[in-house]
Amino acid sequence: MSDAFRTPYADYDVLAKWDTPSWNDRTREVVRRRLEEVPGRRFLTEEEWRLLEAVTARLIPQPEREAPVPIVPWIDEMLFENRGPGFRYADMPPLRDAWRQGLAGIAGEARDRHGGDFESLPPAQQDEILTDVQHNCTDRRWWGDLPAGGFFLHLLLHETVAIYYSHPAAWSEIGYGGPASPRGYVRLGFDARDPWEAEERDV
């Protein structure tokens, strides 16, 4: 898997619209907090935090960024506030237990297979472990009753991806219009683009 990232929207920055009618006060308040008030560790242990940093760096690699979009702080905040999605699958433990167990599972797989911490493994081996977790090829000893694949898809990947694609940097790289109120859009048809939308270029 190549780690080079290319986007057809390289010169688009959704934040350039900050002071235009596309953004209102409420949206600015919400996004400003996301950019400037990244929370510290309150729920995870230091080891869990480090492990999760390494895991999310494989789920959403950001090699081209000096300061990657933060993901773990928001997972920690969600767990600290115990803020679930409004349901849990009958075969899954409650939210916090599931995350603790899942992280312990990944750590266990790494120690068992390579005799070390997940975070110190080379990327290829990390990806191998994560792929096995995704496909339930895991050792029951580290996972207990937690379905590894379910944890990977419904909690770990689901949350990581939602956090990353809630960041303006991610909006920009996929050419997403981002906040739009009071100004929405005029040109709605095929290949129709308003001047305040991202322009696609060949890469």
Partner 1 sequence: MRQPEPSHRPLLAVGGLVFAGAVGTWLLLRRAAPKDEPKQVAAARALGAGAAILAFSVATDSALEHYRGSFENKAMFIAPAVSTITIAAAALTLLRPGTGRTAKGLVFAAATATGAAGVGFHVYDIARREGGFDLLNLFYHAPLGAPAAISLAGIFGLLSQRFERGETRLFGADGARLIAPFTAAALLGTVAEAGLLHFRGAFQNPAMVAPVTIPPVAAAALAASAIAPRLVPAARLLLEGTAVLGIAGPAFHAYGIHRNMGGWRNWSQMILQGPPLPAPPAFLGIAIVGLAMLPLLEGSA
Partner 2 sequence: MSDVDAPRAKAGRAPDVFRSGGWIPMRGYADSEEVDFAIVGTGAGGGTLACKLAEAGFSVVAFEAGPFWRPLEDFASDEKAQGGLYWTDDRITGGADPIELGSNNSGRGVGGTTVHYTMIALRWRPEWFEARSKLGYARDWPIGFDELEPYYEEAEEALKVSGPVDYPWSRRRKRYPYREHEVNASGLVLARGCERLGITWSPLPLATLSAPRGMAHPCVYRGFCAYGCSTNAKQSVLVTFIPRAIAAGAEIRDHAMVGRIEMKDGRATGLLYHREGRWHRQKARHVVVAGYAIETPRLLLNSACPDFPDGLANDEGMVGTHLMCHSGPGVWGYLDEEIRSYKAPPCMAVTEHWNYDDKGKDFHGGYAFMSQGPLAAGWAQDVATNRGLWGMKLRQEMTRYNHSAGLRIVGEVEPRRENRVEIVPDEKDQFGLSIPRVTFSYSENDRRLTRHSIGSMRSVLEAAGARELWDDDDTSHLMGGCRMGDDPKDSVTNADGRTWAIPNLWICDGSLFPTSGGVNPSLTIQALACRIGDRISAMAKRGEL
Q: Residue 178 CB, nearest distance to partner 2 (Å)? A: 7
- Interface residue with partner 1 among 26, 47, 192, 200 (CB under 8 A) is 192
The residue with tokens 């797989």 is: 109
- Interface residue with partner 1 among 30, 185, 199, 200 (CB under 8 A) is 185
Residues 118/106, Cβ–Cβ less than 8 Å: yes
- For CA atoms 117, 163, 83, 28, the dihedral sign is positive
- Among 46-54, 58-66, 100-108, 193-201, the segment contacting partner 1 (CB under 8 A): 193-201
Cβ nearer to partner 2, comparing 22 with 138: 22
Q: Which two tokens stand for residue 104?
A: 């312990």
Nearest Cα residue to 128 out of 49, 55, 47, 52: 55
Q: Residue 71 CB, nearest distance to partner 2 (Å)? A: 12
Cβ nearer to partner 1, comparing 105 with 178: 178
Q: Which two tokens stand for residue 47?
A: 């080891």
- Interface residue with partner 1 among 26, 32, 184, 201 (CB under 8 A) is 184
Q: Residue 186 CB, nearest distance to partner 1 (Å)? A: 5
Q: Which two tokens stand for residue 200?
A: 């696609």
Question: What are the φ and ψ backbone dihedral angles of 104, each rounded to 5 degrees?
Answer: -60, -35
CA torsion angle for 115, 131, 105, 112 (degrees, to 10)? -20
Give the footprint of partner 2 on this chain (CB under 8 A). Answer: 1-9, 22-24, 26-27, 29-31, 34, 58-61, 83-91, 94, 127, 130, 134, 153-154, 157-158, 161-166, 170-171, 173-186, 188-193, 197-198, 200
